[in-house]
Amino acid sequence: MFNLILFGPPGSGKGTQSEKIIEKYGLKHLSTGDILRSEIARQTPLGMEAKKLMDKGQLVPDEVVIGMISSSIEANTQARGFLFDGFPRTVAQAEALDKLLKLKGTQINAMISLLVTEEELMKRLLNRGLTSGRSDDSNEEVIKNRIAEYKSKTAVVADYYKKFDKFFEVKGEGSIDEIFNAICKEIEKEMDA
Ligand code: ADP
């Protein structure tokens, strides 16, 4: 298996690039944000609880997202590999992911991080809010909270993978194809490694 984490702050382009990566490499896309939004759309108890936090720009508890990822891994035993998007967002989530993958006899091959300036993030998210229908994109305060959560809890997850020499950075500004090509270069280096 080849298992990849696409990493970066809210608005860094993970969703856009994920679509292209899974198509090219045949990976199964696991986005905790997408799974949570589908729980909200189906008005499940989990979705209703998560929505309260998401609308404030706060993270959903670790045990909730870890449970979701664990079920998704179980449900896709035939996958050639996984692309994790929006997960892990805390060190506890990273540790849990390692354990889950180890039980399946596999591991994370690489974390690729998209580098985007804060001004650009704010611009992209407010712009996405005009069309996405996502309540967490339409309010500047909520976006600021998401970026603050990223800085205080998520940015350190990069250090976790640096320790294992699995961390790679790609410039997240430029055209979608330029960024995609830079990501593919990193992926293929790791696939050949
Ligand atoms: P973005 O990267 O644009 O913030 P996501 O779709 O990844 O969008 O996440 C939206 C929201 O869902 C987050 O602000 C957070 O509340 C919640 N969420 C998603 N993934 C996680 C996670 N791994 N841990 C905790 N909360 C999460």
CA distance 84 to 28: 8
* Residue 37 designated active-site: no
Q: 21-35, 104-118, 119-133 — which is least confidently predicted?
A: 119-133
Is residue 88 pLDDT above 90, yes or no?
yes
Whether the per-residue pLDDT at 193 is higher than 90: the answer is no
CA distance 32 to 86: 6
CATH topology of domain 4-192: Rossmann fold (3.40.50)
Instruction: Quote the CA–CA distance of 53 and 71 in Å, as a whole number.
Output: 22
**Domain spans, the chain:** 4-192
For residue 97, give both structure tokens: 């992911």
C-alpha dihedral sign at 47, 84, 20, 178: positive
- pLDDT at res. 176: 98
Q: Which of 28, 51, 89, 124 is catalytic?
A: 89
pLDDT > 90? residue 19: yes
Mean pLDDT of 17-46: 97
Residue of 30, 59, 114 to mutate, ligand 1, most atoms within 8 A of C-beta: 59
Q: Please list, in sequence order, all residues whose beta carbon lies within 8 angstroms of the beta carbon of residue 28, skipping any fewer than 6 positions away.
A: 22, 76, 79, 80, 81, 82, 83
Q: Check if 124 is active-site.
A: no
| CB atoms inside a 10 Å sphere around CB 126 | 15
Question: What digits encode the pLDDT tens for the residues 50-59?
Answer: 999 999 999 9
Q: Is the CB of 60 under 6 A from ligand 1?
A: yes
Q: What pLDDT, on a 0 to 100 scale, did the predictor assign at position 164?
A: 96
Q: Residue 135: which pLDDT band, with cuts at 50, 70 and 90?
A: confident
Nearest CA to ligand 1 atom 6: 33
| Residue 87 CB less than 6 A away from ligand 1 | yes
